[in-house]
Amino acid sequence: MSPKKSNIASQPACDTKSLEINHLSTSSTHKAVYSQLQWPPSHLGTGHGLVPRFLAASFKQLIGTDPSPGMIAKAKELTSKDHYSNVDFKQAGAETLPFIEKGSVDVVTAAQAVHWFDYTKLWLEMERIVRSGGTLAFWGYKDHVLPEYKRASEILDTYAYGDKFLGPYWGQPGRSIIQGLLREVKPPREAWEDVKRIEYEPGKEGIRSGTGEKIMGKRMRLGDMEEYVRTWSSVHAWKEEHKDSVRKSEGGSGDIVDEMMNEISKHEGPLHINSWQEKEVEVEWGSVILLARKK
């Protein structure tokens, strides 16, 4: 009897359904190919299970893993067995998956957890569980840019990484790895082949003015962009050290994000309007997809 096979995956922080993602195809042709895979895929660092739910219609069985018991509980809560009977979740770090048999995985995926893995251990475990000919697909995204507003993008970058602003509050080395579009993540040649990187570095001279193949973009209100910035881990860390700084919408005098948005509105002419929160802008993310095939 052949071993049971699976697909393992990891999760982006943005809602993929609301983003333009040009390389995650859900066409009928791709679904037909996915359905012919003999064994299920696995998703590492699954968070609350977004990616497995997104892929569920394309695979017979999926496994999502995460080291956090809270995240696994949330993933199970959000992933109803009535609608996702083919999705299962296991609490485990990506580097140690003892419940998965050797050579039993067709596809391993990981997203916004990929820059935190311990690769000295991860590659050994991936080599063990992925079958010959199986696929590794890692993807991630870094900072966003407003390609139609150069000055606003420069201010955003200054606040994100300036030493006087949010720069010291990012977790390292993970943030530097994703800033470098995972170029430090190199599948060992002795076990992996057909390695391909799809990258996009946004430009500031207009939509799609960047280099590479655009992967992630979205048109959104500036007010929504502000709320997205507030989800950054660096903002949460900054707030822990500045508990007296309360955002304006909560009755305070403002925090670092309020300050940043004020600077953007003040110095970017077309955005210098009273109702700047309602202004729609195009947003593009620096992003990467890393693919490899097991020998």
Residue 213 domain-assigned (yes or no): no
pTM: 0.85
Q: How many domains does the chain have?
A: 1
Residue 214 domain-assigned (yes or no): no
Q: Which residue range(s) make up the domain with 121?
A: 6-141+172-199+288-294
Residue 32 domain-assigned (yes or no): yes
DSSP category for residue 14:
S
Q: Please list, in sequence order, all residues whose beta carbon lies within 8 angstroms of the beta carbon of residue 72, skipping any fewer than 6 positions away.
A: 46, 66, 89, 90, 91
Residue 236 domain-assigned (yes or no): no
CATH code for the domain in which residue 104 is found: 3.40.50.150
Residue the block writes with tokens 């066409």: 27
Residue 39 domain-assigned (yes or no): yes
Digits of tens for pLDDT over the chain (295 positions)?
333 444 554 443 344 333 444 444 444 434 443 444 445 678 899 999 999 999 898 888 899 999 999 999 999 999 999 999 999 999 999 999 999 999 999 999 999 899 999 999 999 999 999 999 999 999 999 999 999 999 999 999 999 999 999 999 999 999 999 999 999 999 999 999 999 999 999 999 999 999 999 999 999 999 999 999 999 999 999 999 999 999 999 999 999 999 999 999 999 999 999 899 999 999 999 999 999 999 9
Residue 206 domain-assigned (yes or no): no
Task: List Cβ<8 Å contacts ≥24 apart for 121-124.
Answer: 121/95, 121/96, 122/94, 122/95, 123/187, 123/188, 123/191
Residue 99 domain-assigned (yes or no): yes
Residue 217 domain-assigned (yes or no): no
Query: Alpha helix locations (H) across the chain?
Result: 28-35, 50-55, 69-78, 119-129, 150-161, 174-179, 222-229, 233-241, 256-267
